Amino acid sequence: NLNLEIHAEVQLKNYGKFLEEYTSQLRRIEDALDDSIGDVWDFNLDPIALKLLPYEQSSLLELIKTENKVLNKVITVYAALCCEIKKLKYEAETKFYNGLLFYGEGATDSSMVEGDCQIQMGRFISFLQELSCFVTRCYEVVMNVVHQLAALYISNK
């Protein structure tokens, strides 16, 4: 019994030493990485960067497979709505944000010749028409989400 306690105490001390050494080794690695991460990419020196994202080859329907057919349908609907919202967000960011943000910038009222404001607004009409269609589509998707959530809530009761 005394021999077992001594053996357990020795193992505990060895484990403690191992943990201390391992912790210090991890800290050295972390410090080395922290120093080098800042050197990898500098926006001022390297204006172009690669954004590498993994590409998933399986479809949404392949990922949603449970034995409950009703649950499959519900999850598929919500997943499709999430994908649609993600696409709409991307479209808004890439197509509409800059146009709305920078419309009318760069020219002051005093530098504009008579009629320039009307020409600029005329060129902006097609953008506004696309934006109107986009807003209508967003409204339809949001209404669909609300209807789906309401249907799920009512069917839960």
Q: Which whole number is the average pLDDT over 35-56?
A: 62
Q: Which long-range contacts (CB under 8 A, 24 or more apart) does 89-95 make?
A: 91/134, 92/134, 92/138, 95/130, 95/134
CA 87 – CA 90 distance, rounded (Å): 5
53-57, 96-100, 139-143, 150-154, range with greatest mean pLDDT: 139-143
User: Euclidean distance between the first and final Cα of the chain, in Å?
Assistant: 62
What is the total residue count of the chain? 157
Calculate what percentage of the chain has a pLDDT beyond 90: 30
143 compared with 72, residue with greater pLDDT: 143
Where in the sequence is the domain holding 69, given as residue range(s)?
1-155
What was the pLDDT predicted at 123?
83
Rounded to an integer, what is the distance from CA 21 to the centroid of its chain? Answer: 38
How far apart, in whole angstroms, are the C-alpha atoms of residue 50 and residue 104? 33
DSSP helix/strand/coil, 55: coil
Q: What was the pLDDT predicted at 124?
A: 86
Say if CB 137 and CB 88 are below 8 A apart: yes
8 pLDDT band, cuts 50/70/90, is: confident
User: Mean pLDDT, to the nearest integer, of 82-87?
Assistant: 94
Report the number of distinct structural domains present in the chain: 1
For the stretch 90-145, pLDDT in tens is 999 999 998 888 877 766 666 667 777 788 888 889 899 999 999 999 999 999 99
φ, ψ dihedrals at 57, nearest 5° = -95, -10
